[in-house]
């Protein structure tokens, strides 16, 4: 199976679970796992995302982390990539139905932890996303500023074969509803 076929099958699973009433329970479990990891490594500067319907809804986590005075940065789409901006309200609906803060200054400093939504992964722990390459282009320029990357998804879609490319973003950990995986070096 190639990456395109794998993406299609994984998206079908994610869309199905996004319509399930269990998604709230699943998201709550995943959010707790993410929060525990953030506490464990004492991350202060965090790159998060504003979720689409099929992604883990981390908005409750964002609220909690802001209350703890942690710095939250989110993607702000520009062309075929994005830049990081400070999370601020109100959010506006933009291209691809993505919500973003109003225009803000780019953040170029160190990120302790990046939480990145994925469609699936393979044994190389590289990201299969939506196929637009936005995270790949962002990481190509900014990876030196990101200490750790954690992938999140509601239901694990994993290929035992390597279906990703060398330029795909690599994560250290994958967190899903059923299990978490670490990159073995």
pLDDT tens track for 75-114: 887 777 788 888 887 777 876 677 767 767 766 789 999 9
User: Does the pLDDT of residue 175 top 70, yes or no?
Assistant: yes
- What 3-state class would DSSP assign to 154? coil
- Decide if 76 contacts 62 (C-beta within 8 A): no
Query: What is the predicted pLDDT for the residue at 95?
Result: 66
Least confident of 14-23, 115-124, 128-137, 158-167: 128-137
- What 3-state class would DSSP assign to 144? helix
Tell how far CA 125 is from the center of its chain.
13
Domains of the chain: 3-182 (3.40.50.10420)
- Decide if 130 contacts 119 (C-beta within 8 A): yes
Distance from C-alpha of 84 to C-alpha of 176, rounded to nearest angstrom: 24
Least confident of 86-100, 108-122, 138-152: 86-100
User: Does the pLDDT of residue 185 top 60, yes or no?
Assistant: no
Query: What is the predicted pLDDT for the residue at 84?
Result: 84
- Decide if 183 contacts 172 (C-beta within 8 A): yes
């Amino acid at each position: 199976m190639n990456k395109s076929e794998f993406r299609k099958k994984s998206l079908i699973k994610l869309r199905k679970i996004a319509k399930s009433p269990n998604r709230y329970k699943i998201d709550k479990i995943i959010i707790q796992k993410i929060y525990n990891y953030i506490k464990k490594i004492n991350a202060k500067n965090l790159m998060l995302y504003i979720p689409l319907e099929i992604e883990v809804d981390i908005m409750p986590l964002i609220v909690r982390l802001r209350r703890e005075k942690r710095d939250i940065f989110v993607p702000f789409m520009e062309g075929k990539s994005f830049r990081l901006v400070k999370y601020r309200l109100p959010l506006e609906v933009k291209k691809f139905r993505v919500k973003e803060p109003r225009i803000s200054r780019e953040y170029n400093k160190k990120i302790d932890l990046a939480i990145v939504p994925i469609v699936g992964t393979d044994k190389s722990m590289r990201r299969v996303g939506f196929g637009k390459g936005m995270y790949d282009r962002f990481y190509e320029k900014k990876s030196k500023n990101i200490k750790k990357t954690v992938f999140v998804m509601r239901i694990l879609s994993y290929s035992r074969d390597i279906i990703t490319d060398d330029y795909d973003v690599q994560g250290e950990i994958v967190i899903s509803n059923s299990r978490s995986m670490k990159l073995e070096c």
